[in-house]
Amino acid sequence: MTSTKDAVTARGEWVRQANRFTQRVAAEAGRYRLIVSLACPWAHRAVIVRRLLGLEDAISLGVVDPIRDERGWRFTLDPDGRDPVTGIEFLSEAYLATDPDFAGRFTVPALIDTTSGLVATNDFPQISLDLSTEWTRFHRAGAPQLYPEALRAEIDEVNDGVHRDVNQGVYQCGFARSQVAYEEAFDRLFTRLDLLSERLSDRRYLVGDTITEADVRLFTTLVRFDAVYHGHFKCNRNKLTELPVLWAYARDLFQTPGFGDTVDFDHIKRHYYVTHPDINPNGIVPKGPDLSGWHSEHGRAALGGRPFGDGTPPPNVTG
């Protein structure tokens, strides 16, 4: 069996499963379908990058139901409960067709090769980078440089700390199986958030003066913070709304085309609160928080910078 399941160490630390399909994908318009959950922060990265770069016509998008059952992600949002392009009812069908011995979680995002129905890659960190670097001939006119070569070393360094302590950190808090493991993850998370607040106190974006991959990766955790991580995952030293710099930074991005218009709070809340019965056994989905603050003035433009550099915002498109 090809097992890459999540694990828990002897100290009660949660360890995310490794990505199973990590081969690189050659860019070919119309061949691949990006399967995502709008609830998942890892998938959300790819949704944002695809939108910012204008790759909608080159890579189609399939969205799964936010409620995942024991069989994995379901296409129950589509007519007849099947993905209209691949014809599958569950993402697991593509995984098991690619590797019949696969025994891990069937994760999103996944790029499906529509010519074979097989998983081309589920390597979420590489997917968004490849959209920026390998799919350039399919980018829209005016697409931003999200991973500019001159800034890659700094972007990678920032991403490393954000991934370890924030993107992963909220899960390590939520899925910890001992008090010590939880508290260590909690301390790493808020230490990193404090460092990010300091970094962003006098600059609009994490690296350089435009939006980059680093901002995309931090945003997808921040936008879920008060809705799910603060309560559901016990990340409760502060709410995002109580961290002035990060709250303003997150609102700035949310109000930028390609960010807030890809957020679905309904999917986010229903997924987390319904699919983790060990954390929330009654499956009750909170009514809050109040989301109106996301549209309030943030004042970050005074720090300078241009969201898209010499490029332009993505047009108002769907799909």
pLDDT for 187 beyond 90: yes
Q: Identify whether 74 is part of a domain.
A: yes
Q: Identify whether 265 is part of a domain.
A: no
One domain for residues 123 and 189: no
Picking from 96, 113, 138, the residue at the C-terminal end of a domain is 138
One domain for residues 94 and 163: no
pLDDT for 319 beyond 80: no
Q: Identify whether 290 is part of a domain.
A: yes
Q: pLDDT band for position 3 (50/70/90)?
A: very low
Q: Identify whether 50 is part of a domain.
A: yes
Report the CATH number at residue 16. Answer: 3.40.30.10
pLDDT tens digits, 202-237: 999 999 999 999 999 999 999 999 999 999 999 999
pLDDT for 154 beyond 60: yes
Report the CATH number at residue 241. Answer: 1.20.1050.10
Query: How confident is the prediction for the chain on average, in pLDDT?
Result: 94
Rounded Cα gap, residues 298 and 248, in angstroms: 5
- Give the total number of structural domains in the chain: 2
Greatest Cα pair distance, the chain, in angstroms, is: 55
Q: pLDDT band for position 174 (50/70/90)?
A: very high
One domain for residues 133 and 156: no
One domain for residues 251 and 157: yes
**Catalytic residue numbers, as ranges:** 40, 171
Q: Identify whether 308 is part of a domain.
A: no
One domain for residues 156 and 293: yes
Rounded-to-10 torsion of CA 90, 95, 99, 101: -60
Rounded Cα gap, residues 244 and 159, in angstroms: 22
Q: Which structural domain range is residue 133 located in?
A: 7-138
Q: pLDDT band for position 2 (50/70/90)?
A: very low
The predicted model gives 11-32 an average pLDDT of 82
One domain for residues 53 and 98: yes
Residue corresponding to tokens 């993402």: 91
Q: Identify whether 46 is part of a domain.
A: yes
Provide the sign of the torsion angle of the four alpha carbons 224, 225, 226, 228, taken in this order.
Answer: positive
Picking from 115, 138, 161, the residue at the C-terminal end of a domain is 138
Hey, what are 311's tokens? 């490029």
pLDDT for 193 beyond 60: yes
Per-residue model confidence (pLDDT) at position 316: 81
One domain for residues 115 and 52: yes
pLDDT for 1 beyond 60: no
Helix axes 244-254, 213-224, angle to 10 degrees: 110
One domain for residues 167 and 225: yes
Per-residue model confidence (pLDDT) at position 104: 87
One domain for residues 191 and 123: no
Q: pLDDT band for position 19 (50/70/90)?
A: low
One domain for residues 159 and 284: yes
Radius of gyration over every alpha carbon of the chain, rounded to an integer in angstroms: 19
One domain for residues 132 and 154: no
pLDDT tens digits, 74-122: 999 999 999 999 999 999 999 999 999 998 889 999 999 999 999 999 9
One domain for residues 179 and 244: yes
Picking from 93, 115, 138, the residue at the C-terminal end of a domain is 138
What distance, in Å, lies between the first and last C-alpha atoms of the chain?
36
Per-residue model confidence (pLDDT) at position 12: 75
Per-residue model confidence (pLDDT) at position 70: 86
Rounded Cα gap, residues 271 and 39, in angstroms: 6
Neighbours of 310 (CB within 10 A): 9
